[in-house]
Amino acid sequence: MPSADDIVDLENNFSRIAMELFAANSVQATLQQIVELAAQTIEGCDGAGIFLVHGSKATTAAATGELVKKLHQLQIHTKQGPCLDAAARGTTFYAEDLTEDPRWPTFGPQAVAAGARCVLAYSLSSERQSALNLYARLPAAFGATDRAQGQLFATLARLALDSAEERAADGKRTANLNEALRTRELIGQAQGILMERERITADQAFDVLRRASQKVNIKLRTVAETLVETGEAPAQG
Q: Which amino acid is at 68?
A: V
CA angle 131, 135, 137 (to 5 degrees): 170
Domain range summary for the chain, segments of one domain joined by +: 4-170, 175-230
Q: Establish how many alpha carbons lie within 13 A of residue 194's alpha carbon, considering only the half-sphere containing its beta carbon.
A: 28
At the top level of CATH, which class does the domain 4-170 belong to?
A: alpha beta
Residue 15, pLDDT score: 67
Average pLDDT over residues 33-54: 93
pLDDT at 69: 96
What is the C-alpha to C-alpha distance for residues 91 and 70, in angstroms, rounded to an integer?
Answer: 23
The pLDDT tens digits for 170-211 are 667 777 777 777 778 887 888 888 888 888 888 888 888 888
| Half-sphere exposure for 128 (CA within 13 Å, toward CB) | 14
Tell me which residue of 71, 171, 163, 80 sits closest to 125, measured CA to CA.
163
d(C-alpha 97, C-alpha 81), whole Å: 13
Whether residue 163 is predicted with pLDDT greater than 50 in this model: the reply is yes
3-state helix, strand, coil in the chain (%, to 5): 60, 15, 25
Architecture of domain 175-230 in CATH? Orthogonal Bundle (1.10)
Q: What type of residue is 122?
A: Y
Q: Report the C-alpha gap between 166 and 172 in whole angstroms.
A: 10
Report whether pLDDT(44) > 90.
yes
Per-residue pLDDT tens for 200-223?
888 888 888 888 888 878 888 888
- Please state, in angstroms and rounded to a whole number, the distance separating the CA atoms of residues 141 and 130: 23
